[in-house]
Structure formats: C-alpha cells, structure tokens
Amino acid sequence: MDSDAPAETVRVWLVERTYSDDEQNIVILVYATPDGEHYLRKERALTSFDDARDTTAAIDAKPRALGTVDDPETRAEYAASAKRTREQYAADDVV
C-alpha cells in the first residue's frame, strides 16, 4: 500500500446533538452512516460564545474510528435521521 495514498474514509451524517448532563459546556455530536449501522461520537467543549467551530451536516471519518450500532431500534433511528439530514443539507452545510 502506498503511504502517500489518501486514507479511505466513510461519510457519516449528523444524527444527534445533545448537551452533556455530566459536564458543563460539552456538546455531544453523533454522526452515522446512511444505513445506521456505524456511528462516530464527538465531544466538543464550548469554551466561549466566541467559539467559532462549525458543525457540518456530514464529515468523512476513518472506518476504524467508527463504532457499530448493535441495537436494531437505534440503527433504524440513525438511518432515518441520516436520511433526513442528507435530504435537507449538503455535506458541508453548517447545521
């Protein structure tokens, strides 16, 4: 494998945004594959109102960074949410 070749990535779509109950100023973002079978959880500290890190509708993630969604109900919810996000936004739209 060529070490200069771009790493393979998987596009995941924003399916959930919540605020942590345990820690103040933490936003939890969950992105999932369109089929809802894999997810990526990101935690972001909101350090100030001037914090200008955008949340986009989709990101490209390395496959090894993705977790597996074992629960069929959660998988279906993630798939439905990913579909809605894909229909409403371009991947790089700020949401």
What is the value of pTM for the model shown?
0.84
pLDDT in tens, 8-51: 999 999 999 998 776 677 889 999 999 999 999 998 887 655 55
Q: How far is CA 85 from CA 3, 11, 19, 33, 67, in A?
A: 34, 12, 19, 11, 20
CA atoms within 13 Å, Cβ hemisphere of 88: 13
